[in-house]
Amino acid sequence: MNIFVLEDDSEVLDVIKLYLEDIKADKHFFLDSHEALEVAEKKKVDLLITDIFMPKMNGLEVISTFREKHPECKIIAISAGGESGGFVKSLVLDEALTQGASCAIKKPFLQADLICEIERLFTL
């Protein structure tokens, strides 16, 4: 299994790396959406975990692109809601589901929350 994690905050990315440490899979971690998409052209992607609010290309655009090129890929959208607070957070995660995310998790989240969603997605 190939897992791609796209998160523009290096500290959050490091936490997710630790959260996924015990999962037996090839894991690829990206700070830049364009780099993730470039690598995805050469690899099958089984799971994408992507932040929503990122520079250059936002997570909603990434989700749409992955849906087109990797229709079988499971996608977990993650977001703290950006600078606008909780109302936008709720709406953007709903929009991520509309764009094709398999599920959405609000930041901050616990390791157990992420692992539970991954297990749920791959046992359905």
Mean per-residue pLDDT pooled into runs of 10, the chain (124 residues): 96 98 96 96 96 91 93 95 57 90 95 97 83
pLDDT digits (tens, 9 = 90+) for 51-76: 999 988 999 999 999 999 999 999 99
Has residue 68 been placed in a domain?
yes
Query: Which domain covers residue 112, as residue numbers?
Result: 2-118
Has residue 59 been placed in a domain?
yes
Has residue 123 been placed in a domain?
no
CATH code at position 72: 3.40.50.2300
DSSP conformational letter for 75: E
Residue 33 in tokens? 């959406």
Has residue 54 been placed in a domain?
yes
φ, ψ at 51 (rounded to 5°): -70, 160
Count other C-beta atoms under 10 Å from residue 74's C-beta: 22
Has residue 9 been placed in a domain?
yes
Has residue 106 been placed in a domain?
yes
Cα separation, 124 vs 114, whole angstroms: 16
- Which pLDDT score is estimated for 56? 86
- Structural domains in the chain (count): 1
Has residue 45 been placed in a domain?
yes
Has residue 79 been placed in a domain?
yes
SS3 for 3-55 is EEEECCCHHHHHHHHHHCCCCCCEEEEECCHHHHHHHHCCCCCCEEEEECCCC
